[in-house]
Amino acid sequence: MKRKEYWKWLIPTILVGFMLGCAAGLRVQDEATSFPGDRQWVEKTIRKMTLEEKIGQLVVARYTGEFFNFDSPYLKKLEELVRNYHLGGLILFGGEALETAYFTNHFQKLSKIPLLIASDLERGAGNQVTGATLFPPLMALGAADSEELAYEMGRITAIEGRALGIHMTYAPVVDVNINPDNPIINTRSVGEDPEQVARITRAFIRGCQSHGMMATAKHFPGHGDTDQDSHSLLPVIRADQERLRRVELYPFRVAIEAGVDSIMTAHLYIPALEPEEGLPATLSPRIMTDLLRKQMGFKGLIVTDALEMRGITGYFGDEEAALRALKAGVDLLLLPLDPVKVIEHLKRAVKSGELPLSRVEESLRRVLLAKTRLGLHRRRFVSLERLPLVLGKQEFKDIARKTFAAAITLVKNENDLLPIKKDKKVVLVSLSSDPGDYYAGRRLATELASRLPSTRVFYADGDTGREKLGEALSAAASVDLVVAALFSSLRSGKGTVDLEPVHVDFIRQLTAAGVRVIALSFGSPYFLRHFPDVGGYLCFYRNTPETQELAAMAITGEIKISGQLPVSLPGLFPRGHGLVLEKIEEVK
């Protein structure tokens, strides 16, 4: 070939390769459209791997995106896991933007095979990384009932996540929250209607995966009908197969049809699906292989929920759980207590014939194909210089704020308590059911005082501030109304998202005394069951500085309220209920 002809051939080839590489960073390809070269890379890689490398690719450990000196024992341990035990991926749990991207690149340099970096970005990349855009939980999307906003949430999550070096989000939650006392799903779910859950999460999946990030539907086969937390014990779902098919499984079927790349298991015992007493779904071949793979036709990655959770460790040893999960049909083992012991145990199981090598290679092939669809075999590093151009863009923040605002739900407004006029005398009581968060409503207090100058503020949590409740009760007698701001966050292992009994009693005392009360829920919408006699009730679904600012604007008529309950409040209001309150037009 002549030199001139060579360059005529090479330059277009380089350009095509560059474009394909860029596309891989922007769009997760379907397995059926993978390039032949991708599959060749997978097969060639598998042929060169040792047994330990093959098993290591199925194990995932945690890391935090914080600053670490290279002498840090924590960092050295992670480096050893990546370099010597050939982990398939890491899961980010919180951190700063630059540190996250820097150490993501650092671990990628140490790894022989590109790492699959994942994180729980249920509320956007800002859920884990400071500086990225933070969205409300999915129940707020249910209240707004907007597929457009769900798509945008998925899109922005993917763009920011990929800029940080994160390839996979453990979202969306497609559980149907039909149990008002659910302590761990609750506002993480879109709501109680399977069709709405499916619609909203499908839009999120489409936005996420069309912009280069793998989405994960969780927690299969459905964690919405329990009043127990699998972080602490093994919940039992006692629904029959017909109810499971109609409710719990429906959103997963829709997610699979939408091409979701990954599904996360649930540490639940479901007698209707698994006859072995006390066997979690995560470890059940009947659920993982027979139901999910064969009956529902899922071909993507199956990942466990964290194997360090008590829903597993309280009943099975670390090594046994990992082995049983793989034999059940799971592909990736997330967060075993001791990754090294698990890898060594699985090696022995393969050598003894207890775990077929073909079962390992089946999952390995899925993991490597996922990495090629993400383009990681061609480009695994991210640019730190791009972070200030991508993370927290004003466009992204505006969309997130629009989502927070669209979700605000006015459930009660007796005697037109809202909007509150500027001449009204108000007592604001901030009631925190979260230990260590005494001043939970500080931003709300500041925002409300700027609009209603005569506002008096009292704070209380479950341990301190009881004398303040007495003072607030006395002050309530001489004002026009009391605004009770209710804070109780959803946290793993907490066991409840409910309110402190003393706070419930306080509000009941107010209503019994004839005081006009407006309650603001910055968490579960189900709080109203405790004090149905309050005159006003609004739901914001999450405590953030933004929701507190929007709350002050909403109750003073500065913004329109139009959200609708995505769950029913038993005995009080049905799903879909929501009063519309128009914005007060300013007098010119």
Cα 118 from Cα 100, distance rounded (Å): 12
Give SS3 for 409. Answer: strand
Q: Are the C-beta atoms of 336 and 14 separated by less than 8 Å? A: no
The pLDDT of residue 8 is above 50: no
**What is the model's pLDDT at position 1?**
43
Task: Identify the pLDDT of residue 538.
Answer: 98
Give me the pLDDT at residue 229, please: 77
What pLDDT shows up at residue 466?
78
| Residue 24: band (very low, low, confident or very high) from pLDDT cuts 50, 70, 90 | very low
Question: Which residue bears the tokens 């700063």?
Answer: 96
Mean per-residue pLDDT, 465-490: 91
Q: What is the mean pLDDT of residues 269-273?
A: 97
Domains of the chain, residue spans: 27-395, 408-555
Higher pLDDT: 144 or 231? It is 144
pLDDT beyond 50 at 13: no
* Edge-to-edge strands, sheet with 517-521: 409-413, 536-539, 517-521, 481-487, 426-432, 456-461
Residue 489 pLDDT exceeds 90? no
Helix (H, G, I), strand (E, B) or coil at 415: helix
Q: What is the pLDDT of residue 467?
A: 83
Cβ atoms < 10 Å from Cβ of 420 = 22
Mean pLDDT score of the chain: 92
- Select from 56, 177, 277, 222 the least CA-distant residue to 490: 177
Read off the pLDDT band of 35 (50, 70, 90).
low
Residue 249: what pLDDT? 98
Taking only the tens place, the pLDDT of each residue in 414-443 is 999 999 999 999 999 999 998 889 999 999
Looking at 9-23, 177-191, 445-459, 518-532, which range is the least confident one? 9-23
Structure confidence at residue 36 (pLDDT): 64
**CA dist., res. 383 & res. 545, Å (int):** 30
The answer to whether residue 5 scores a pLDDT higher than 60 is: no
DSSP structure class, residue 332: B
Exposure string for 113-132, b = 16+ CB within 10 A, e = fewer: bbbbbbbbbbbbbbbbbbbb
Res 12: pLDDT = 38
Contact of 191 with 569, CB cutoff 8 Å: no
- Beta strand 333-334 with 59-65 is parallel
pLDDT digits (tens, 9 = 90+) for 58-78: 999 999 999 999 999 999 999
Token pair belonging to 416: 């037109």
Q: Quick one: how many helices (H) and strands (E) in the chain?
A: 21, 15
Bond into 251 cis (ω within 30): no
Mean pLDDT of 459-478: 88
C-alpha count within 13 angstroms, C-beta hemisphere, residue 388: 1
3-state SS assignment for residue 331: coil
- The CA distance from 61 to 74, in Å, is 12
Lowest mean pLDDT across 32-46, 146-160, 266-280: 32-46
> How far apart (Å, rounded) are the C-alpha atoms in residues 185 and 229?
9
Q: Are 373 and 24 in contact (CB under 8 A)?
A: yes
β-bridge mates for residue 16, sequence order: none
**Chain segment 299-358, per-residue pLDDT in tens:** 999 999 999 998 999 999 999 999 999 999 999 999 999 999 999 999 999 999 999 999
Q: How many CB atoms sit inside 10 A of residue 451's CB? A: 16
DSSP letters spanning 544-555: -HHHHHHHHHHH
Q: Is pLDDT above 50 for 226?
A: yes
Residue predicted with more confidence, 422 or 490: 422
Query: Does a cis peptide bond (omega within 30 degrees of 0) precede residue 106?
Result: no
Work out the number of other CB atoms within 10 angstroms of the CB of residue 297. 10
The stretch 546-568 carries a mean pLDDT of: 98
How many residues are present in the chain?
Answer: 588
* Structural contact between residues 158 and 209, judged by C-beta atoms closer than 8 angstroms: yes
Residue 134 structure tokens: 């933070």
Cα–Cα distance for residue pair 517/532, rounded to 1 Å:
11
pLDDT confidence tier of residue 586, bands split at 50, 70 and 90: low
Using alpha carbons only, what angle is made at residue 92 by residues 91 and 96, rounded to the nearest 5 degrees? 170
The pairing of beta strand 262-265 with beta strand 301-303: parallel
* Model confidence at 21: pLDDT above 50: no
What's the mean pLDDT in 369-388?
A: 96
Confidence at residue 240, expressed as pLDDT on a 0 to 100 scale: 97
Q: What is the pLDDT of residue 227?
A: 85
pLDDT at 529: 96
Tens-place pLDDT, residues 94-151: 999 999 999 999 999 999 999 999 999 999 999 999 999 999 999 999 999 999 999 9
Residue 585: the pLDDT is: 74
Q: Tokens at residue 332, please?
A: 């990736």
CATH of region 408-555: 3.40.50.1700
Q: For the ranges 213-227, 459-473, 548-562, which has the lowest average pLDDT?
A: 459-473
Give the residues across from 236 on adjacent strands.
269
pLDDT value at 294 more than 90 = yes
Q: ω into residue 419 within 30 of 0, thus cis?
A: yes
Q: Half-sphere exposure of 209 toward its Cβ, with a 13 Å CA cutoff?
A: 26
More confident residue, 4 or 232: 232
- Residues with Cβ within 8 Å of residue 436, at least 6 apart in sequence: none
Q: Helix, strand, or coil here: 140?
A: helix
Between 62 and 492, the higher pLDDT residue: 62
How do beta strands 116-119 and 168-169 pair?
Answer: parallel
pLDDT given for residue 587 in this prediction: 39
360: left (phi over 0), alpha (psi -120 to 50) or beta: alpha
**CA-closest candidate to residue 501, choices 543, 466, 476, 477:** 466
Measured between alpha carbons, how far is residue 188 from residues 164, 284, 338, 387, 476 in Å? 24, 25, 29, 28, 35
Query: Does the pLDDT at position 576 exceed 90?
Result: yes
Give the whole-number percent of the chain exceeding pLDDT 90.
Answer: 87
Contact 246, 258 (CB under 8 A): no
| Active site amino acids | 231, 305
Task: Provide the CATH number for the domain formed by 27-395 in this structure.
Answer: 3.20.20.300
Signed CA dihedral, 151, 155, 161, 166: sign only? positive
Q: Report the pLDDT value the prediction gives residue 33, as an integer from 0 to 100.
A: 43
pLDDT for 113: 97
CB hemisphere CA count around 358 (13 angstroms): 0
- List the Cα angle 550/556/558 in 5-degree steps: 65
pLDDT at 370 > cutoff 50:
yes
The dihedral through the CA atoms of 417, 419, 424, 428 has a sign that is positive
Q: What is the pLDDT of residue 7?
A: 37
Contact 176, 251 (CB under 8 A): yes
Bridge partners for 6 per DSSP: none
